[in-house]
Amino acid sequence: MASLGRILSKTFFWSYERGTWQYDVAVILILVFVLLTPRNWFRDLPEGGGPGAAGQVQLLSKEGNRQIYRVDARILAPPKFALQSDLHSALQQALPELHNGNFSISKIAPLRDDQGMVIAYQVEIRH
């Protein structure tokens, strides 16, 4: 009988031949893990970036060709390096007057709650 260490080593390095019972058990364990693991164990969040719902994008002020919007952080995808691109897309989808995309974002300021979580962004755009 093989030692427990050898069995774990062969399983970890996927050394069993296809069709053996050990291989089948390893595949079943992987499938069970993938399909039955709760999302919140990995803090998995659903993708955002869809069309903005009413109240998620609000005009705060307008001066000439400069406008400042408040964009709720929930309509954006989880934090990425492309925040400006995501905000541009969210504004373009949420507001009919910006559908043509002829605007640029000049300033982004995160708005935080009492715990320091980003709940929205204050976005200044120029036409």
Domain of residue 89, residue span: 57-126
Q: Which of 85 and 49 is assigned the larger pLDDT?
A: 85
Q: Is there a domain that residue 50 lies in?
A: no
Q: Are residues 103 and 68 in the same domain?
A: yes
Q: Are residues 117 and 66 in the same domain?
A: yes
In this predicted model, what pLDDT tens digit does every residue of 54-110 receive, in sequence order?
568 888 888 888 888 888 877 765 555 567 777 788 888 888 887 777 888 888 888
Q: Are residues 32 and 63 in the same domain?
A: no
Give the number of domains in the chain: 2
Residue 97 phi, psi dihedral angles, 5° rounding: -70, -10
Q: What is the predicted pLDDT for the residue at 1?
A: 60
- Here the tokens at position 114 are 């009492």
Three-state SS for 115? coil
Q: Is there a domain that residue 48 lies in?
A: no
CA–CA distance, 126 with 66 (Å, rounded to integer): 5
Q: Are residues 72 and 38 in the same domain?
A: no
Give the predicted TM-score (pTM) of the model. Answer: 0.41
- Here the tokens at position 51 are 């069309």
Q: Are residues 71 and 122 in the same domain?
A: yes
Least confident of 21-25, 61-65, 87-91, 114-118: 87-91
